[in-house]
A and B are shown apart, each in its own frame.
Chain A
Amino acid sequence: MITLLAAALLAANPGTKPIKMPPLTERASYEPKDRVAYLAEALQAMGQVKPGQLAQAYQYASALERTACGSPVERLRAECLTQAARKFCKSRPKAELHGCTLTLDVIVSNVLAEKQLIPMEQRYELMRRHKDHRRELERHLRRLQGSLAANFQLAMGPEPAPASMAQAIDTWCLATADQTNLSWQTCAASLVWFIGSAT
């Protein structure tokens, strides 16, 4: 069975075929200035969303991640959730489309980061201890985001001006990835959600 599967996979393998990539100007860039600009926009968008809407969108993404988009492969889960987020935002008025996309990106990124933030053992422990474990997981995640934001605040000293907040988040998340074992995207998405929705 495994041999057949391997053979099928190898048959599907393009082998030495070179990877066709779009030209640099057409594809998304993750250079520092692009990251900072995006974080600034996301912070602003998060600040404009009502807490109820945020919770609703989170529930939607979280439910999808557990069901239709459930996959052991991180990339496929991310792809599936972004497709779903696109559909979700299409139903909104045109004026809200951009803000919706930004907000959903932060939410989906946080949903995807959950497994990294709450290890499996801790997840089991929470499920064992609490009747409403989803709510408890949500609360725990919020606490983690809060402690991350507190660390960020302590490290950065006086609160940066809103204009330079995105820059501060980008710098801090890059600099602490080695210590916290959190990827830049997990760190940035958590901070944007916590700080953006609090303002």
Chain B
Amino acid sequence: MIGAKSLTTGVLFVSGLTAAVASGVLRPQRLAGIQGGTAFFIGCFAVVTATFVFRFWRLGERSAHYFRWATDWQLWDGESHFLGSRQRRITVGRNTAGEAQELPPRAQFSVCVILALTLAVATFDARALTLMDRFRQGFEAVGANYCPDEEAAAQEAEKAETNDPGCALVRRAFALGYADSLGECGKKKQSKVSAVCTLRQRDEPLFHYAFRKLHEFMLVVVERYRHPKESKEPPAFSPEWKERLDLMLGTQGQVMSTAPRASHHIWTNLPKPGEDAFEPRTCVDRYRSLSHRPLPPAGPTQASLVFEHVVGQLLFETRYEQAAGYCREYQVHWGAPKGACAKLAANPEKFLAETGALPHVRSVLRRYQLEQQSKPEVRRRTPHEFLSFSCYIEGEEGGRKVLPLTFERLALSATELKAPTPPANSQLQVARYGQIASLLAPSFHYGVLLSEAGLDIGRIEGAGFAEAFAAKDYPLSRLQGLGSLDIFLEPEWISTRTDLLQVYPYHLHLKNYVHLFRRQYLLQKGRL
């Protein structure tokens, strides 16, 4: 025999805890994630709610009814059948004598607190508290939309008038009799006729204000219903519209087909190093991360591999910073004739068609024209920035030359660089870095003041490095000093030391070199 209140509390306790455990509310990680403020609120909520429940349900008092597990078919006096069969059933009866088993009041209260705590943990988190706080603020802000106080506004206006520049002096002069009139300062500015304030009046009851707003809304609805707006006729497809539509379609088509945004071409007399060099499908992965130092095997394509490596490092490698260009928009035309740029300048269309560059160039120009027509107000890169033609001719002396050309009524130019072939046993490719960098970005210059090695270069201090690496002790520490030797400035000494070239920290100065190059390059070249 158990009291109805105790049974109910027990059932609620077991089911509540089971549900909480099953749904993961009491997981240690979740409990550990509760913030201090939230935990405090949950505790307060649990105590207050549990006290309310305990008091209003009178859980501290005896139950009015009891439940009993009966196995005989005879019921006791005043009992009724509640659940089960005649042999095994639960009966319910009046607990007039108070003989039913009951949980002690403290236990009842504890169960209430635990249940309320579980409920609070399941429902409240930091977000819920924030929302509640926002609701409170919103509720408090309801009264903020009152009509301004007219008297206060008038006083403010008067105060502003008296504070007009120079008026204080005029008033003082008038008061002392030095002036006959106040002049402009005496005139009261005519206040503008303010519109009727429809906000809540200061003495207006809340329900009156609410009704007024509802009435305004109803008036608007009725007005709309009586005088619906006349529907506009669909715009006629005038020739301008059709043209505009074509333009939009063209622009969208360019986007959908990922048409190139730039077209940069380099013609070189070097042979093609392999099928994958500057291959549009694989170039992004190929040039994402390159070795610090180009070390191609000896052979007929050695120079081409170095050229590919240097161009990849200068423009596309993303090890240190964002790439300076999209490799699919760069085309290297291997095995070009030595006078490629001269031919290009003489007859651009023919030469571009012969070398297979014409469709790419036309595609970019088409995109440029479409964008120019659709959004002429947008400032974009000029054709000589997103269209470039360069020639790298190795094995000849001649330096750099700029050849002007006209293509599709655009004034463009082709840059030709003739560079001597480096010695076959050359360990460092510093000269090629400089040549290729100046071909791609003519204004690029790398000097002592730009180097991170500072002014500690062998030329100034004498044979500093030669002396430093002469001694045999402390080799590891000495090698750390190589950081202040910038091979891009002073490659002569170290190029004779093949042993040191193996352990030279290339990344230190290469990073700076690439960074400075890209900064210059992006000032001159880029994408649409």
Contact = CB atoms under 8 A, between A and B. Distances in A.
Interface size range on B against A: 35 or more
B465 A75 contact: yes
Nearest to B464: A75
Contacts of B481: 74-79, 112
Main secondary structure of the interface of A (DSSP, over half): helix
Contacts of A74: 453, 456, 480-484
Interface residues of A, number: 52
A39 to B, nearest CB: 9
Interface string A157-179: 00000000000000000100111
Contacts of B463: 19-21
Interface string B479-513: 11111110000001100110110111111100000
Interface string A118-155: 00000000000000000000000000000000000000
Given A20-B463, A26-B470, A178-B292, A82 B477 contact: yes
Contact of A30 (B291, B454, B456, B475): B475
A73 B456 contact: yes
Contact of B476 (A9, A22, A26, A189): A189
B475 A174 contact: no
Given A30-B503, A181-B507, A185-B503, A108 B484 contact: no
Interface in B413-471: 453-456, 458-460, 462-466, 468-471
Contact of B480 (A21, A27, A109): A109
A78 B478 CA distance: 6
Contacts of B275: none
A185 B465 contact: no
B473 to A, nearest CB: 6
B472 interface: yes
B474 interface: yes
A82 B462 contact: no
Contacts of A19: 458, 462-463, 466, 492-493
A185 B499 contact: no
B474 A85 contact: yes
B507 to A, nearest CB: 5
Interface string B264-296: 000000000000000000000000010110000
A112 B480 contact: yes
A120 to B, nearest CB: 13
A20 B470 CA distance: 11
A21 B471 CA distance: 11
B479 A30 contact: yes
Contacts of A34: 499
Contacts of A76: 456, 481, 484
23 contacts: A13-B459, A22-B470, A35-B503, A73-B453, A75-B485, A76-B484, A82-B477, A82-B478, A86-B473, A108-B474, A108-B476, A109-B480, A113-B480, A174-B503, A177-B505, A177-B507, A181-B507, A183-B479, A183-B482, A183-B483, A183-B508, A185-B503, A189-B476
Given A75-B481, A86-B473, 5 more contacts: A15-B459, A72-B454, A101-B473, A101-B474, A174-B502
Interface of B: 289, 291-292, 319, 453-456, 458-460, 462-466, 468-485, 492-493, 496-497, 499-500, 502-508
